[in-house]
Amino acid sequence: MKRFAGLMRDHIFFFLNGQKIQVRGREALGMLAPFLRRERGLTGTKIACAHGACGSCSILLGRPTQSGFNYQPINSCIFPVFACDGAHVITVEGLNGPDKVGGQDDGVLSPVQCAMVDCHGAQCGFCTPGIVITLTAFHENRVQSSAEDVKAALEGNLCRCTGYSPIIEAGMSVETADLRPLTQIYPPEPLLDGLNAGASDAVEIRVPEDELEIGQHLFVPRSPEEAICWKVAHPEAIVVSGGTEVGVAMSVKGLAPREILSLAHLEDWDEVTRENDELVLGARATWTQVAEQVGAIVPEFATLLTRWGSPQLRNAGTVAGNIIRAAPISDSLPFLLACEAELEFIGELGARRVTVADFLESGPTMRPDELLRRVLVPLPKEGQTLRLFKVSKRRAFDRSIVSAAFLLTASDGVIEDIKIAFGGVAPLALRLPQTEAFLQGKPVNSAIWREAATVAYNEISPYSDAAASREHRTRLVANLLRKFGAEL
């Protein structure tokens, strides 16, 4: 094995409500929410689902930036403790400063907490800490907020009691003048200083097998070279990027990987840029980063992303995880298929490119030494129409039943070319070549989409599952074609 350039730590460290802590051993490999509750006694963070599906466990993850920390809410129930390395975690107990954690009750409330009390935003109170966290992040660096903005921020927090109206009202009536930014409550310098020593070390934690649990081995590389090198030596290792998929498996499905390769510190794999006629998405870019950047480049994709998961999931989930997992409901794949995007893998032998279609065709597989490095998406050209659809049971914070992407090139009322991709109608997202071929050269009129729907009907054979029946999915494929036509 190649020797790594950097140093190695056998533990992780991060700040928790302003206090530096070190975590080693099995604890580092578990999920953050139970760690906070059981090991640190911070029971304000609630676990209502352990699936990333309710937001009760929201905490603020502060990732260091040039100027301080960027705090974002994430679901701590599916966020591995090791992924906190080098960050600042603020829980509901810590919102009013390090001296207010635990300790005597001086009754001090932050403006967000005040608004929640005054607007009667808490009933049973179980969802409330998560909501306070979300609203705190929302109000950081914000002067004004509309009901729309508040709702968008709260999409990832379920509440069974209030019906949300009082919470939205609270979100809108926060005394912004009294707000102390988190960077003032927790001045960044001492935190950054505290994180400095060992900041560039890779982390390797080995947990020996014991009488109850298997042995585990975690590696958090600092460079792509280290990552690949370790992957070659440990081809069976589970790769964790944002952890929103792997975290659920670990939190509720009993997944306990023997070997884990965390990409948490490949920070510079997160580019979202336009290079010539291509959109480049770094593997580690979170969906929040993509959504922030892509609006100016492919607005249609940005719109779709507003319906992707929840803010908390978008703050953690990454591009690579969404593609490699290749779930039928992945919201990015139909878009990538229709645009004929390419994936760039890097491995022992260097970089390799493959189209998304070929990647899916193959299984989807990659070589054991490989990691997805980035995605290159040819941008829709002048005169092309891109439309993306997502149909889900619940409007927001739900996975797709069926998703679709259409890329149409038409001139003078005639279809020159069309690319149609669907998710949720087969085990993997796919293109509909027969329907595409049928449409080519046809005039754009409402009858043609109906006919195309019939072709599509014969081209797919969807499945039934807990989200929807086969019949419904079949109808949706036909109807989304018609809807695309009707809305042209």
Partner 1 sequence: MPSVGRSIPHESSRDHVRGRSIFLDDITPHRNELVVDFVGSPVARGEIVALDLSAATKIPGVVGLYTFRDVPGSNLYGAIFHDEYFLAEDKVSFQGEPIVVIAAESHAALHAAKKAIHLDVRPETPIVSIAQAIEAEEFIGPPRAISRGHARDALEKCPHRLDGTLYIGGQEHFYMETQCALAIPGENGHLTFHSSTQNPTETQVMAARVLGLGMHQVVCVCKRMGGGFGGKETQATPPALMAGLVAMKTGRPARCIYSRETDGRVTGKRHPFEVRYQIGFDSDGRLLAARLEFYSNAGFSADLSTSVFDRALYHADNAYFIPDIELIGRICRTNLPSNTAFRGFGGGQGILAIESIIEDIAEFLDKDAAEIRLLNCYGAEGRNQTPYGQIIQDDTLPLLFERLADRADYKQRRQAINEFNATSQIHLRGLSLTTVKFGISFTTKFLNQANALVNVYTDGTVQVSTGGTEMGQGLNTKIRQLVADEFAIDAANVSVMPTSTEKNNNTPPTAASAGTDLNGSAAVNACRLIRERLTEFAAVRLSEDVPIPIERIVWEDGCVFDREKPEQCLDFGHLVHAAHRERISLGERGHYITPGLGPSRPFFYYTTGCALAEVEIDRFTGEMRVTRADILMDIGQSINPAIDLGQIGGGFVQGMGWATCEELKFSDEGELLTASPSTYKIPGVRDIPEDFRIEFEQDSRFPENVRSSKAVGEPPLLLGLCVWTAIKNALSYAGPRGHVAPLNLPATGEEILRCLCELEDKCP
Ligand X SMILES: Cc1cc2nc3c(=O)[nH]c(=O)nc-3n(C[C@H](O)[C@H](O)[C@H](O)COP(=O)(O)OP(=O)(O)OC[C@H]3O[C@@H](n4cnc5c(N)ncnc54)[C@H](O)[C@@H]3O)c2cc1C
Q: Which residues contribute to the site for ligand X (CB under 6 A)?
A: 51-53, 238-246, 248, 263, 283, 308-309, 313, 316-318, 320-322, 324-325, 330-331, 371-372, 399
103 by Cβ neighbours in 10 Å (0-12 / 13-18 / 19+) ranks as: exposed
Residue from 2, 20, 120, 353 binding partner 1 (CB under 8 A) = 120
Q: What are phi and psi of 379, to 5 degrees?
A: -80, 145
Of 154, 166, 151, 140, the residue nearest 56 (C-alpha): 154
Least distance from ligand X to the Cβ atom of residue 454, Å: 29
Both tokens of 379, joined, read 């941008």
Q: Considering beta carbons, is residue 245 or 259 the nearer one to ligand FES?
A: 245
Q: How many helices (H) and strands (E) does the chain have?
A: 19, 19
Q: Which stretch binds ligand FES (CB under 6 A): 117-125, 187-195, 259-267, 270-278?
A: 117-125
Binding residues among 363-392 for ligand FES as defined by CB under 6 A: none
Site for partner 1 in 401-430 (CB under 8 A): 401
* Locus of tokens 């081995």: 217
Q: Based on the shown chain and the rule CB under 6 A, indicate whether residue 52 belongs to the binding site for ligand FES.
A: yes
Note whether 447 binds ligand FES by CB under 6 A. no
If phi > 0 it is left, if psi is from -120 to 50 it is alpha, else beta; for residue 170 that is alpha
Could you tell which of ligand FES, partner 1, ligand X, none binds residue 320, using a CB distance below 5 to 8 A set by kind?
ligand X
CB of 102 to ligand FES, least distance (A): 22
Residue 117 binds to partner 1 (criterion: CB under 8 A): yes
Identified binder of partner 1 from the candidate list 20, 142, 206, 393, rule CB under 8 A: 393
Site for partner 1 in 220-249 (CB under 8 A): 248
Distances in Å between the Cα of 480 and the Cα atoms of 390, 393, 398, 433, 485 are 10, 15, 19, 16, 8
CB of 451 to partner 1, least distance (A): 16
Segment contacting partner 1 by CB under 8 A, of 11-19, 80-88, 429-437, 460-468: 460-468
Residue at shortest CB range from ligand X: 321
CA–CA dist 57, 131 (Å, integer): 9
Spell out the residues 6+ positions from residue 216 whose beta carbon is closer than 8 angstroms to its own: 26, 29, 205, 206, 207, 256, 257, 258, 259, 260
317 binds, among partner 1, ligand X, ligand FES, none (CB under 5 to 8 A by kind): ligand X
Figure out which of the listed residues 68, 166, 188, 243 binds partner 1, where binding follows CB under 8 A: 166
Q: Is 113 in the site for partner 1 (CB under 8 A)?
A: yes
Instruction: Decide if 74 contacts 315 (C-beta within 8 A).
Output: yes
Identify whether 181 is preceded by a cis peptide bond (ω within 30 of 0). Answer: no
Task: Identify whether the C-beta of residue 446 lies closer than 8 Å to the C-beta of residue 474.
Answer: no
Residues in contact with ligand FES by the rule CB under 6 A? 47-57, 75, 77, 122-128, 159-162
